[in-house]
Amino acid sequence: PASKLPQVGTSIFSVMSQLAQTHGAINLSQGFPDFSCPPELADLVGTYTRNGFNQYAPMTGVAKLRENISRKTQLLYGVAPNPETEITVTSGATEALFCAIAAVVRPGDEVLVIEPAYDSYVPAILLNGGQPVFIPLSFPDYQIDWDLVKTRITPKTRLLLLNSPHNPTGATLSAEDLNNLADIIRDTNIFLIGDEVYEHMVYDGHLHQSLLRRPELAYRSFIISSFGKTYHATGWKVGYCVAPPALTQEFRKIHQYLTFSTITPVQYALTDYLENTEHYLNLPTFYEQKRNLFCSLMDSSRFRIIPSAGTYFQLAHYGHITDEPDVAFARRLTQEIGVAAIPVSVFYHNNQDHKVLRFCFAKNEDTLQQAAEKLCAL
């Protein structure tokens, strides 16, 4: 039978992690920490598991968890979404992204996708009959050209996907970006998805410009986050979506029949752990130190670092080291030098190759030191 996703192969994250394992390379490719989640949080998961919290959670998520998410949102962005009608707990941000896209995209609708783009967006758009319309970020500073966005809007435009802090570039949206966005879509019916899974990883004293801060944007937005990123537990796959009641209602229709509900003991553990604001409030400092360490270690390398403003990713340009395409170079780096990274061309529909690799710095200092030593020897 004809494939519904003929262009889709194995995700680069699986490919590079597998290659790293095969060659015993230090894995700075797929984004995940090599350190543990907070021990108190792990203990809570154990306690709830042992105490019988192992059956289906409510379809919308554990009530107290949704209340605590609302409180966190109030503390950080000054708005408290209604836990009953505006917050849904999902099995990772990936599920939330799919539900939000499926909730609004109809056959023939156009969806604006900023590139480089996280790899789960386009397949979800295509499966729902949508047509991705690609808008490249500027290079090498990776900013959104809002005039260009404006020219890509048509009567068929249904949705715009925004990701800030941005994977893979580490760029963040500014208040000015959100002003431009608001101007451009004011007279349209375009919905927004804010992929904000790295909301707690914004550096250099800047604020995360969540769509939730802007009522004129939030009323038409799905805002998505991931506890996997915030609590160093990417394997748990627990995330959530905040959206106004009418959008949440449609979102839940999909969620109800995609996964129905999300892992119960972890939801209860997160409920308790969220009472402690310290963890996520300290996250910018925690990761900024790692970014600074990695960048300073790489100073003596031949890579040219493109400073990361957010996320736990750091881009590096290598055009003056070799002419190799980035996919080939990333493979060679893994096999011969012993460090795995992600080639950024895979985040473009046309595989645009700017000779840039993405390194994940969510790693112990030792790991970063050993990796940098190898990269500096190149």
Residues that bind ligand GLN (CB under 6 A): 11, 13, 30-31, 167
Closer CB to ligand GLN, 167 or 301, in the complex: 167
DSSP calls for 169-182: T-----HHHHHHHH
Could you say whether residue 169 binds ligand PMP (CB under 6 A)?
no
Could you say whether residue 195 binds ligand PMP (CB under 6 A)?
yes
- The option from ligand GLN, ligand PMP, none interacting with 228 (CB < 5 to 8 A, set by class) reads ligand PMP
Closer CB to ligand PMP, 27 or 94, in the complex: 94
CA distance 110 to 140: 27
- The option from ligand GLN, ligand PMP, none interacting with 226 (CB < 5 to 8 A, set by class) reads ligand PMP
Closer CB to ligand PMP, 228 or 338, in the complex: 228
How far apart are CB 31 and ligand PMP at their closest, in Å?
5
- Closest by alpha carbon to 82, among 257, 248, 270? 248
**36-44: long-range contacts (C-beta < 8 A, 24 or more apart)?**
36/232, 37/231, 37/232, 37/233, 38/231, 38/232, 38/273, 38/279, 40/273, 41/231, 41/233, 41/269, 41/270, 41/273, 44/268, 44/269, 44/272, 44/273
How far apart are CB 108 and ligand PMP at their closest, in Å?
26
Q: Which of 77, 118, 191, 361 binds ligand PMP (CB under 6 A)?
A: 118
- The option from ligand PMP, ligand GLN, none interacting with 30 (CB < 5 to 8 A, set by class) reads ligand GLN
Q: Which of 18, 188, 234, 369 binds ligand PMP (CB under 6 A)?
A: 234
- The option from ligand GLN, ligand PMP, none interacting with 11 (CB < 5 to 8 A, set by class) reads ligand GLN
CA distance 341 to 126: 28
DSSP calls for 265-307: HHHHHHHHHTT--HHHHHHHHHHHHHHHHHHHHHTTSSSEEE-
Could you say whether residue 197 binds ligand PMP (CB under 6 A)?
yes
Q: Six-digit token pair at 70?
A: 């609302």
- The option from ligand PMP, ligand GLN, none interacting with 163 (CB < 5 to 8 A, set by class) reads ligand PMP
Closer CB to ligand GLN, 31 or 165, in the complex: 31
- Closest by alpha carbon to 16, among 354, 364, 360? 360
Amino acid identity at 287: Y
CA distance 371 to 361: 10
Q: Which of 226, 314, 334, 367 binds ligand PMP (CB under 6 A)?
A: 226
Count CA within 13 A, CB hemisphere, residue 322.
Answer: 12
Q: Which of 70, 88, 157, 163 binds ligand PMP (CB under 6 A)?
A: 163
| Distance in Å from the first CA to the final CA of the chain | 47
Amino acid identity at 49: T
Closer CB to ligand GLN, 32 or 53, in the complex: 32
Could you say whether residue 94 binds ligand PMP (CB under 6 A)?
yes
Q: Which of residues 27-46 bind ligand PMP (CB under 6 A)?
A: 31
DSSP state for residue 37 in the 8-state scheme: P
Closer CB to ligand PMP, 130 or 168, in the complex: 168
Q: Which of residues 253-312 bind ligand PMP (CB under 6 A)?
A: none
How far apart are CB 376 and ligand PMP at their closest, in Å?
27
Kindly provide the b/e burial profile for residues 349-359, where b requires at least 16 CB atoms within 10 angstroms of the residue's own CB.
eeebbbbbbbb
CA distance 223 to 373: 39
- The number of angstroms, rounded, from the C-alpha of 245 to the middle of its chain's C-alpha atoms is 24
How far apart are CB 126 and ligand GLN at their closest, in Å?
17
Note the residues at the interface with ligand PMP (CB under 6 A).
31, 92-94, 118, 163, 167, 195, 197, 226, 228, 234, 237, 239
